[in-house]
Amino acid sequence: MTDYDYWKIFPRMPKKVTIGDITIRDGFQHLEKFISTRAKTYYAEELIFAGCRHIEVTNLGNPYLLPQFSDAEEVLGYLRSERFRRRCSKRGINPDDVSITAVTIREPAVDRAIELKEKGIGPDRVLMMVSTEEEHHFANSGVTLPMYWKEAERCIKKCTDAGIKMCGTVSTIWGSPIAGATELKDAVEFTKRWLEIGASDIEHADHDGSASAEEVYRYFAMILDEIPDPRLHIAHFHETKRMAAASILASLQAGIINFEATMGGMGGQPANFLDDCPVPGTGEYYYKDPRYVGLNCLEDMLVQIDEMGIEHGYDVDRILKLGGQMEKTTGQRLRSEAVINGRTMKEGHMEFARPGLKELKEKQGEAPKQLVPGEWGDKAELPEKHRPR
């Protein structure tokens, strides 16, 4: 007979996970509208108050290319301010338990992170990224993979000396939007390369939403066979074909315990238009319709994981309320279904019940919880031809 215990079927599946939020960086970078500094700090603070302990808040690259992050120092400065610390303390939160990340794709951005660290407002952690498919990597960075690996090695040493952690991202694991199919074994090798040169952890990224659940399970099983400490690995999924929820489940089944998400499923390629002005971004968009581009949605993912009984540390209802506010901030309908439809309520929604059931059962002489005719047996008798053999 089938074993119905999910955790016995998938023995690596965790009972507790960590979900980092990357809305303020990856989510907002896709918008063709500048989000005010006050809104950025508001959402960062509220996410932390709701349980987030790993938060990515800005990109320290050239603000001429990415003007959405022209306020990087102000955002980081607020999260290092005494006001923020006092507000955390009132809620029983130790701000030193919150890890703040900034993206630093190239070395000048890493140098900027170190300068900010010396000023007392720098990030705890930065991030650099390689793609296993070199055309995609070149489109993002402007250099070859060998050139970038040497740069990353220098940057990790600088960060280590400055007391900053470096996350190494591996992208195009399950395919590239430029050159197509890729090999999973290349991403496993790149993961080892990051750890070899001193990265603190690895973000495993599906940056174009091309992963299937079967391939996700296979990849993370390969990763944990080769590098078994699950604390080193973070799953990062984009949503372009409504497959991210399946990928999250496959990652859990394989044994992954760290994930990233954005509110409303926002995010994707940096905008090349902001408010009333074209901006460089990262060039021409490689998607056809911005409504169908983004990341896995924090609100929906939390409901999914919470209803599986997996511990996550968030106040789900507070996050759902925050998601409703985010739609006002962005001025558009975002991709969360849970923000609109809410959580699955065990007590149901009796306000939608059709009146008269109780009275009809009494009239028919039926017991309140009687579900089949009284003359039927207590248990169904399955016909012989349909019984297990």
Q: Residues of the chain with pLDDT > 90: what percent?
A: 88
- At 261, list the tokens: 């998400």
What type of residue sits at position 357? Answer: L
Structure tokens at 345: 């309520």
CA dist list (Å): 313 to 248, 283, 373: 17, 38, 46
Task: Judge residue 152's burial from the number of C-beta atoms within 10 Å of its C-beta, 0-12 exposed, 13-18 middle, 19 or more buried.
Answer: buried
CB atoms near residue 245 (< 10 Å): 16
Place of tokens 């009809």: 360
Provide the token pair at 253: 């089944």
Predicted confidence at residue 3, as pLDDT, reads 85
pLDDT class for 379, splitting at 50, 70, 90? very high
In this structure, what token pair is assigned to residue 204?
């495993």
Confidence of residue 160 (pLDDT cuts 50, 70, 90): very high
Provide the pLDDT confidence category of residue 139 given band limits of 50, 70 and 90: confident
Per-residue CA distances from 236 to 22, 251, 275, 380 (Å): 10, 10, 28, 47
Question: Given a cut of 90, is residue 240 above it in pLDDT?
Answer: no
10-341 to CATH, choices 3.30.420.40, 3.20.20.70, 2.40.50.100, 3.90.120.10: 3.20.20.70
Averaged confidence pLDDT in the chain: 95
Q: Taking 80 as the threshold, does the pLDDT of residue 54 lie above it? A: yes
pTM: 0.94
Kindly state the tokens that stand for 208: 């174009």
Mean pLDDT of 156-161: 98
Give the pLDDT confidence score for residue 347 in this predicted structure: 85
- Cβ atoms of 212 and 177 within 8 Å: the answer is no
Q: How many residues does the chain have?
A: 389
One DSSP character per residue, 65-114 reads: T-GGGTTHHHHHHHHTSHHHHHHHHHTT--GGG-EEEEE--SHHHHHHHH
Q: Where are the domains of the chain?
A: 10-341, 355-386
Q: What is the pLDDT of residues 61-89, one digit of tens each?
A: 999 999 999 999 999 999 999 999 999 99
In the predicted structure, residue 291 carries a pLDDT above the cut 80: no
Say how far apart CA 151 and CA 166 lie, in whole Å: 13
**Is the pLDDT assigned to residue 242 strictly greater than 90?**
no
**Confidence tier at 161 by pLDDT (50, 70, 90):** very high
Residue pLDDT, tens place only, 170-226: 999 999 888 989 999 999 999 999 999 999 999 999 988 889 999 999 999 999 999
The two three-digit tokens of residue 231, written as one number:
């604390």
Q: How far apart are CA 310 and CA 258, in angstroms?
A: 12
SS3 316: helix
**320-373 pLDDT, tens digit each:** 999 999 999 999 999 999 999 988 888 888 899 999 999 999 999 999 999 999
Cα separations in angstroms, 107 against 2, 138, 158, 168, 207: 54, 15, 10, 14, 22
What is residue 230's predicted lDDT score, i.e. its pLDDT?
Answer: 98
Mean pLDDT of 254-262: 98
pLDDT surpasses 80 at 155: yes
Contact between 145 and 156 under an 8 Å Cβ cutoff? The reply is no
The burial of 301, by beta-carbon neighbours within 10 Å (0-12 exposed, 13-18 middle, 19 or more buried), is given as buried
- DSSP H helices, the chain, are 6-9, 37-49, 72-79, 82-90, 107-118, 134-141, 145-162, 184-196, 213-226, 244-254, 298-307, 316-330, 338-341, 357-363
Provide the β-strand partners of residue 205: 236
At 151, list the tokens: 């740069």
Token pair belonging to 381: 């008798």
